[in-house]
Amino acid sequence: MALTIHRAERADVLAEGLAGLLAEPPEDPFERDLVVVAAAGVERWLAQTLSHRLGTAPGHDDGICAGVSFVRPLHLLTELTEKERDDPWAPRRLAWAVLDVIEQHLDEPWLAIVARHVGHGLEPGEEALRRSRRYPTAKRIAALLHGYAVQRPWMVQAWTAGDDVDGVGSPLVHEVRWQAEIWRRVHTLLDGHPSPDLRLADTAAALRGRTLDPDLPQRLSFFGHTRMPHAELDVVGALAHTRDVHLWLPHPSRSRWDDVAATTTDAPRQPARRDTVDAPDTGNTLLAACARDVTELERSLLALPGEATTVHLPAPERPPTLLGQLQADLAADRDGPADDIRTLDPLDRSVQVHACHGPARQVDVLREVVVGLLADDPTLEPRDVLVMCPDVETFAPLVEAAFGLDDVPDVDHPGHRLRVRLADRATGATNPVADVLQKVVAIAAARRTTATEVRDLLSLAPVRRRFALTDDDLEQVDEWTVQTAIRWGVDADARAAWQLGGLAQNTWRTGLERLALGVVTDGHDDPDAQDDTHTGNRLGGVLPLDDLGSTGVDLVGRFTEAVERLAAVLESSRPQPVDDWVELLTTAVQTLTDVPARDAWQREQVLRVLADLTRADTGPVVRGTLTVVEVAAFLTDAFAPRPTRTSFRTGSLTVCTMVPMRSVPHRVVCLLGLDSGAFPRTPTPLGDDVLARTPLVGERDAAGEDRQLFLDAVLSATEHLVITYTGASEHTGRSLPPATPVGELLDQLARTVPTADVRSQVLVQHPLQAFDTSSFIPGALVPGSAFSFDTAAYAGARATVRPQVPEPPFLPAALPGDADPITTLDTLRDLVRHPVRSFVTGRLDVRLPYEDEPIDDSVPLGLDHLERWKVKDRVLAAVLAGVPGHDAEADERRRGLLPPGPLGDAELARVRPEVGTLFALAAPLRTDTARSVDVDVELGDGRRVIGTVAGVHPHHALRVTASTVQGRQLLEAWVDVLALAAAGQGRPAHLVGRVPSGYRKAPGVITLAAPSQDEARSVLAELLDLHAIGRTTFLPLPVKTSQAYADLARRTRPEIALAKAEREWVGSRDVPGEVADAYHRLVLGPDAPIADLVERGFEQHAATLWFPLLDRMEVDA
């Protein structure tokens, strides 16, 4: 039995060697070979590769990979050490034992550092804030202890014996000595369950002493490892005493291997400190910077007791490209060519580094590069392309958008036809039920239950299915949430933690009560009431929401049920034992989610995780309570990305993190998102990590692992290596450096072909926008061809260089006239209210989109001018309808739009005087009951005007408003005055509101005198002429602008009046003019001058519309 180390520069060469070994059948024909692989993607690739080598017919690759078992190192060690399935020393379960020790000993001096960290003994407020650190702290400590046990086992063995040392010959410093005591306490607590260091040490001793004969085949292979912990490596070395053990190691350079081997002597009992081992001071600079992991693994292997045979497999074939030359220099461990005759083909694109503006542009550029490579080489397929990314979760939505829109109409890009597989995303991203559960726990942890949080939860697919919520339903829920002023908090009691326990305003309970009361009442006292401004149906002081309609009843029920079920879960989310948490979260999953039968696995997966939480807290551990924040931390860890072998090598273009497919050769390897600061991981070593204080050879180091991953990626690319990074800020354009290994790669490439300007050929600086013309000019970004395949961006690029042409007119010619002789008063009111909008919406049937009022999560603390006007308008309408003033103000408080308490009282106090003044001004004019009058006016030329005039008293018409009485209100009242006079019921109209009074506006009355019947019919006919024009084209009559012109044109020269009208049209810096109106911009274009209105007859039409009105207007301020 022996240990054989097979070294090769690439994994496909190792796979060939492994296939040759497996092709020799074992002595027992029924014995299965065992291959231990380090990552899921490697396992999938290796099985497929072996199937092309084993059992094949001569000249064919139609074999099968049978009789071979693939396992992970953890599975093999579990078999060897006879570790139980639910091992309490596994890091996730060990956390509970650590948590129990912490809970029991917080008062003891030796644990004072941890006690202070979790808030024990501090002020009540600070203690409550820090209490939720307990489980995350225990999880962190458990991870440290487990790492110590497998990486520095002799240290924890000394701890067990009572010797508090750091494993390198020194006593533990005071600030970490508590870890040794926690180890001993946990060791005692888990008595009967051997710790990993003891299990591994006992197993290694038993294997070497041949007292253990494991149920394993006679030969074993370990494939693709670049690092192994000391304790596990000791077991592997011991296993070679009873089995043939083959290590298949990807190592970049035989020359570097030989140099390290020559300096490795018989190992001492413990590995050397990392800072005492001299790295080779010659050779390839990039190799020295990135190959520490495999170098230290080599030192550890060669230091194992016994003889190890090293077999160097042949070097792979490399293309004569820049990438091939780089890999050759790495393999030879030299910093440049052996001679100076290398040249660089100007069209060589084997190595590409793309500097982009942010993550989104990186994905855009990657798509163009991949499509370009596929277009250039018909033999290249998507499965030959591997995309690796340090942060898949950040880039996954961008990748899905860039590659996954093949079924979207009007989106035409060859990249959208590629099949892309995102291999190792977090469970919450692939399992919607897990996403729901995490969001529910996050809402409970935040303790606010905001309107936005609940709305986002309701939009998740399992919740929508459970409560049958459609897109229209969710839009209606949004509208109700705004109307009922729901902001945050389940009810007043739920706000107690924020010292707002008595404030029910803007809570879910109050809003749902308004909805429920709106279902069972009509919200009004009389049929003529407008809006929910009356005091009827105030059950329990609740203001019902009006106008729900019969179709909304069912949705109110489903919406209320969803919120009440969520509230029940949140109410129970108090600190409690683990079993109670599992029961509560299981209830949440069952009551808040539903999935189709084909997706039943989603709920089952989540329920298994919850069941695992219960199992994790079993055994000799005293169960404590967990806070919701601690449960959230557990779920984050439980639903973290865990790649499976079926996610890889599916025939699609694979996108994954850097680990699962490390060293697997692909024709094209792409590294996405290698930004400075994001890669490599460079965490500052935390002071509680004993290993990080004095690291030894072979111990884990995050930055070193990432550098090794980068080197593995460079070596695994057989034809093309593509790297993208953020080279400039997408906001400011400021230049940003690449990740350090990328900069080192560019420097190494410059040394690879020292006679050429390699950097300028390899590094591409991309523009900010995809539609930049440089993307479509051959040679502008990449040599020999245009860069982009994006047809939409191409159209945009052409538009940027196309000569500017004037915008075509909105309406090239007038439309045919409207033959209908009957015009309604509503149509006339709509015309004078906004002539352009009347044409666009009434004749063209076009409506511009508008933004819904967004959901607000904050309780109002003050009102802006518009909000204050709305309060004033509603209170005024209520008192005019007969509601006592104090009841009207009480309804405003119930509405939830006022600030709470004294702040709301102050706002009401601001509007109360003006409401009282307006009410007093209107009182003498409201002596009789108002009625509605139907009018039907024949104008004698075949045209008729019909409609209804409201607010008519015996001697006058009356309108009362909280607004300033100006253009729109005047014109609407004028239409009513004309209609009544033309029908023989002439009477003046009084408008009570804010009216001009010098340089300010104050409550007052504007009176419009009634013309004679003949005059009214004549003026009405002129209005109908304007209406006829307004049905064929848009009338250039912006209301405020035309009023300003007409008011002055009656008294002075037209050019002076036009200058005043222009000021209204253009506006000022603080107050935009009517030129900014969306409908005016639509028909006239942005920033249209008033001259455009004049060309269309503005002055004449303004005189027609306004002169008769202004001649009969009287202001009483």
pLDDT in tens, 40-74: 788 888 988 898 888 787 777 778 888 899 998 88
Q: Report strand pairing: 625-626 vs 576-577.
A: antiparallel
Is the peptide bond preceding residue 685 cis, with omega within 30 degrees of 0? Answer: no
Percent of the chain with pLDDT over 70: 94
Examine the domain organization and report whether 78 and 98 are in the same domain: no
Other CB atoms within a 10 A radius of the CB of residue 79 amount to: 14
- What is the mean pLDDT of the segment spanning 601-616? 83
- CA-closest candidate to residue 641, choices 653, 628, 655, 652: 655
Q: Residue 1040: what pLDDT?
A: 95
- CA–chain centroid gap for 536, Å, is 45
Under the banding of pLDDT at 50, 70 and 90, the label for residue 538 is: low
Q: Which range of residues forms the domain containing residue 591?
A: 428-484+545-638
Spatial contact of 451 and 486, defined as CB atoms under 8 Å apart: yes
The yes-or-no verdict on residue 924 having pLDDT over 90 is yes
Examine the domain organization and report whether 168 and 253 are in the same domain: no
- What is the mean pLDDT of the segment spanning 328-351? 89
Examine the domain organization and report whether 660 and 734 are in the same domain: yes
Under the banding of pLDDT at 50, 70 and 90, the label for residue 805 is: confident
Flag whether 911 is in a domain.
no
Flag whether 897 is in a domain.
no
At which residue do the structure tokens 């990449």 appear?
A: 782
CA distance 641 to 428: 9
pLDDT in tens, 788-797: 999 889 999 9
- Residue 174 class from Cβ within 10 Å (0-12 exposed, 13-18 middle, 19+ buried)? exposed
CA distance 517 to 496: 26
Q: Is 815 left (phi over 0), alpha (psi -120 to 50) or beta?
A: beta
Q: Residue 625: what pLDDT?
A: 82
Examine the domain organization and report whether 416 and 451 are in the same domain: no
CATH assignment of the domain containing 362:
3.40.50.300
Under the banding of pLDDT at 50, 70 and 90, the label for residue 646 is: low
* Cα distance from N-terminal residue to C-terminal residue, the chain: 110
CA distance 111 to 99: 12
CA distance 572 to 442: 14
User: For residue 892, what are its two tokens?
Assistant: 């405003």
pLDDT in tens, 404-437: 766 666 667 888 888 888 877 777 778 999 999 9
Examine the domain organization and report whether 432 and 417 are in the same domain: no
Examine the domain organization and report whether 159 and 27 are in the same domain: no
Which of 143, 165, 191 terminates a domain? The answer is 191
Strand partners, 356: 726
CATH assignment of the domain containing 440:
1.10.486.10
pLDDT in tens, 266-307: 555 678 888 888 766 668 999 999 999 999 999 888 888 878
Under the banding of pLDDT at 50, 70 and 90, the label for residue 622 is: very low
Flag whether 1008 is in a domain.
yes
Spatial contact of 775 and 365, defined as CB atoms under 8 Å apart: no
pLDDT in tens, 123-133: 887 888 888 88
Under the banding of pLDDT at 50, 70 and 90, the label for residue 154 is: very high
Examine the domain organization and report whether 266 and 303 are in the same domain: yes
Examine the domain organization and report whether 1031 and 965 are in the same domain: yes
CATH assignment of the domain containing 75:
3.40.50.10930
Flag whether 330 is in a domain.
no
pTM for this one? 0.84
Q: What is the DSSP string of 933-974?
A: EEEEEE-SSS-EEEEEEEEE-SS-EEEEEEEE--HHHHHHHH
Q: Residue 532: what pLDDT?
A: 45
Flag whether 1024 is in a domain.
yes
The yes-or-no verdict on residue 648 having pLDDT over 80 is no
Other CB atoms within a 10 A radius of the CB of residue 407 amount to: 7
* Cα dihedral 144→145→147→148 (10° resolution): 120
Other CB atoms within a 10 A radius of the CB of residue 686 amount to: 10
Q: Residue 651: what pLDDT?
A: 64
CATH assignment of the domain containing 132:
1.10.10.160
The yes-or-no verdict on residue 525 having pLDDT over 50 is no
The yes-or-no verdict on residue 535 having pLDDT over 60 is no
At which residue do the structure tokens 């906004």 appear?
A: 834
- CA-closest candidate to residue 92, choices 617, 693, 771: 617
Examine the domain organization and report whether 621 and 668 are in the same domain: no
Flag whether 337 is in a domain.
no
The yes-or-no verdict on residue 669 having pLDDT over 50 is yes
Q: Residue 379: what pLDDT?
A: 94
Examine the domain organization and report whether 979 and 1103 are in the same domain: yes
Q: What is the DSSP string of 1031-1064?
A: HHS-----HHHHHHHHHHHTTS-HHHHHHHHHHH
pLDDT in tens, 459-510: 999 999 999 999 999 999 999 999 999 999 999 999 888 888 888 999 999 9
Per residue, the 3-state secondary structure of 570-632, as one string, reads HHCCCCEEHHHHHHHHHHHHHHHCCCCHHHHHHHHHHHHHHHHHHHHCCCCCCCCEECHHHHH
pLDDT in tens, 948-1002: 999 999 999 999 999 999 999 999 999 999 999 999 999 999 999 999 887 888 9
Flag whether 71 is in a domain.
yes
Flag whether 538 is in a domain.
no
Q: Residue 419: what pLDDT?
A: 81
pLDDT in tens, 102-117: 999 999 999 999 999 9
Examine the domain organization and report whether 301 and 369 are in the same domain: no
Which of 146, 170, 191 terminates a domain? The answer is 191
Q: Residue 617: what pLDDT?
A: 47
Query: Which 8-state DSSP code applies to residue 874?
Result: H
Q: Residue 180: what pLDDT?
A: 96
The yes-or-no verdict on residue 537 having pLDDT over 70 is no
pLDDT in tens, 673-694: 999 988 887 666 778 899 989 9
Which of 191, 212, 237 terminates a domain? The answer is 191
CA distances from 425 to 391, 421, 502, 652 (A): 10, 10, 44, 16
pLDDT, averaged across the chain: 89
Count up the domains in the chain and report the number. 5
Examine the domain organization and report whether 947 and 1025 are in the same domain: yes
- What is the mean pLDDT of the segment spanning 75-82? 81
